[in-house]
Structure 1
Amino acid sequence: MTQMLASVDQRTKLVGENRLELLLFRISVTQLFAINVFKVKEVVRVPSLSAMPGSHPSIIGVANLRGLAIPVIDLRKAIGFRPSAVYEQSNLIITEYNRSVQGFLVDKVEHIVNLTWSDILPPPKTVGRNNYLTAITRIDYQDKQELVSIIDVEKVLAEIIQYDIKLSDGVLDEQLLPLMQGKKVLIADDSATARRQVRETLEQLGLEVIEVSDGLMALNQLQQWCDSGINVSEHIIMLITDAEMPEMDGYKLTHEIRKDKRMSDLYITLNTSLSGSFNNAMVEKVGCDRFISKFQPDLLVEVVQDKLRQSEALLTQ
């Protein structure tokens, strides 16, 4: 397993080419689940766990890995199945999301597969709003075709951590509030939980939020505005986009926007749970204006306010 993940850092060339790699695992005998390899720090056998009295019911204990205390989440229980039992083949997937490290208990890690984002589809609408999936795909695996369900880890973590959208004192610039009333922001993110967090933060400022669930939908919306004669950079303050999305990722979306002269100057903020050092390099490569890691309401508001100040300064010149 260590060898399988040893080259994760070398796989960054896939990002920006609308490609991804999924770590496949099982939490039931009959179905494959997955998360993006870029979120994975390592995969280990389940060590002894220390109890955490008073913790969320889905947190089954704390693992001590090389001196770092890591909360362990029973992924089966967190997404609505019966609690897991720990078997000899059980694994912990150690991940980093939104600047926090946690372990997910799964039955067995299987494999890594290389796909394009165009292979990834949103979950069917018939599954309802309360599902824990951001996307699905089908792969040829072990001489048969299997359905793979991609976990909405941000939703899982939000139900456990309960992120607060309350702004800190002094963050909001009262002088800018009148300028923000009714102005629009476009959000592209495949996680309904992440979109809700951004929307509820920005609505506190009087902003109107337009939501889409993948990069291709965002590009189509922007192109429709351009085709109808709308100046996109005046119509919306900015695009806030996730990195990982079905159909088209945030890096490819940015690339497509920058090469279209009608909207090449659109302000783009990358808002993602992927690691900061990696994304800073990708932001520079594809041409995003800002990068912020999820979920930081104060910083999100500061980014919007900074953009408004820049716009006002240009108008007064």
Structure 2
Amino acid sequence: MAGVLDTVNQRTQLVGQNRLELLLFRLQGNQIYGINVFKVKEVLQCPNLTSMPKSDPVVRGIAHIRGGTIPIMDLSLATGNAPLTDLKNKFVIITEYNMKTQGFLVSSVERIINMNWSEIHPPPKGTGNAHYLTAVTKLNDRMVEIIDVEKILSEVAPMTVEVSQSIVTEAMAAEAPSYHVLVVDDSKIALKQTTRCIEQVGVTTTKLMDGKAAWEHLLGMLDEGKDPRQEYLMIISDIEMPEMDGYTLTAEIRSHPQLKDMYIMLHTSLSGVFNEAMVKKVGADNFLPKFKPDELAEIVVHQIEKRGGVVPALDGE
């Protein structure tokens, strides 16, 4: 345990080529869960919690950590299981998602493993929409479930996806429907939030849930004689995805002579530990932390302008 606690911070600085490191933990029973180390700031024994009246039941309390006050969420309760008990013997994983810091209460923390994204797979078909998984993998013939933290956060503290009316002008409403955006994200809730935001601008969207599916989709268009550069105004892609991550998807597109000029924006909840040098290395055009509806909409507006749309430039541009 001490080794895990001592090395989490250092390991969050690592960036791999289509690789990830998972921090493994348990909630109830023997099922193993995983969370990307990039999103982990610290792991510690559960501190004293102060309850908050009228808060969501998932929030077991707030804790004062490193000079700040953060909410502590019961990850077992959040995923539909019984709440954790005997909190003084439990652990808290401090994370940063969407520019916010929160702690997740877990029963135990196991170890860190290094894997290739190709070993991470979407949840099995037929599991429905009610589960809290973005992906699954195997470790020594045992299933490891990777939790959709963005879905949990959206249920506990919903974020607005509404775009300011000043961005959706009459000119935009007339011009935008002729443009199409490809959105790639393995979290169903994040995919819904992103598409809801840009569809308010007026553009249409195609939605895919991992980088490999997006890459095969683009190659399939070429095989059919279609030019993705003309079909799509831009690609908005998450970074963490099963099968193929956003870094690798970007690098593959940049290395393909018929696709290399596509505009790619990486859209990720990896705000606090994000490595901008990696974005430049793989050749992405832009990066935006989740979730900023107006900024996301403005980027789409600017791309329409570059394509020759009639939308006037935004103030200050």
TM-score, with structure 2 as normaliser:
0.93
Q: Return the alpha-carbon distance in structure 2 between the equivalents of residues 72 and 87 of structure 1.
A: 11
Distance between the aligned counterparts of 1:221 and 1:35, measured in 2?
28
**CA deviation string 1:119-144 (max 9, x = no partner):** 0011112211110000000012xxxx
1:77-116 to 2 correspondences below 5 Å? 77-116=77-116
Query: Counterpart in 2 of 1:168?
Result: 164
Q: Does structure 1 residue 218 correspond to structure 2 residue 221?
A: no
Q: Deviations over 1:165-193 (max 9, x none)?
A: 11224233432332211421111111110
Name the CA distance, whole Å, in 2 between partners of 1:104 and 1:313. Answer: 45
Alignment match, 1:118? 118
* Matched residue, 2:74: 74
| 1:279 to partner: Cα distance | 3.8
Whole-angstrom CA distance in 2 between matches of 1:276 and 1:225: 36
Q: 1:276 and 1:304 mapped to 2: Cα distance?
A: 24
For residues 212 and 279 of structure 1, what CA distance do their matches in structure 2 show? 24
2:225 equivalent in structure 1:
229
Matched AA of 1:68: G
Partners in 1 of 2:272 and 2:255 — Cα distance? 25
Moved more, 19-28 or 226-235: 226-235
Q: Is the 8 A contact 1:24 1:32 kept in 2?
A: yes
Q: Aligned residue for 1:3?
A: 6
Number of aligned residues: 307
The answer to whether the Cα contact below 8 Å between 2:186 and 2:241 also exists between their aligned partners in 1 is yes
Q: Distance in 1 between matches of 2:277 and 2:228?
A: 26
The residue number in structure 1 matching 2:199 is 203
Please report how far the alpha carbon of residue 271 of structure 1 lies from its aligned counterpart in structure 2 after TM superposition: 0.5
Q: Secondary structure at the match of 1:154?
A: helix
Q: Which runs of 5+ in 1 are unaligned?
A: none
Q: Where does residue 312 of structure 1 map in the other structure?
A: 308
Q: 1:100 to 1:112 in 2, by over 3 A?
A: same
Cα distance, 1:87 vs structure 2: 4.4
Q: Is the 8 A contact 1:173 1:305 kept in 2?
A: no
Amino acid at match of 1:124: P
- Tell which deviates more after alignment, 175-184 or 251-260: 175-184
Which of the numbers 152, 156, 162 marks the counterpart of 1:156?
Answer: 152
Alignment map for 1:273-292 (pairs within 5 Å): 273-275=269-271, 278-292=274-288
Q: In structure 2, do the counterparts of structure 1 residues 236 and 3 end up closer, same or farther at CA, with 3 Å as the change threshold?
A: same
Structure 1 stretch 174-183 or stretch 185-194: which is displaced more? 174-183
Aligned CA distance change for structure 1 residues 274 and 192 (closer, same or farther; 3 Å): same
Give the stretch that moved more between structures: 36-45 or 164-173.
164-173
Write the letter of the residue equivalent to 1:8: R
Residue 300 of structure 1 is matched in structure 2 by 296
Q: Which residue of 1 aligns with 2:246?
A: 250
Q: 1:85, 1:268 → 2: CA distance?
A: 45
- Cα separation, partners in 2 of 1:199 and 1:309, compared to 1, 3 Å: same
Q: Return the TM-score normalized by structure 1.
A: 0.93
Q: 1:35 to 1:232 in 2, by over 3 A?
A: same
Q: Deviations over 1:66-105 (max 9, x none)?
A: 2100100000000100111134541000000000000000
| Unaligned ranges ≥5, structure 2 | 311-317
SS at match of 1:181: helix
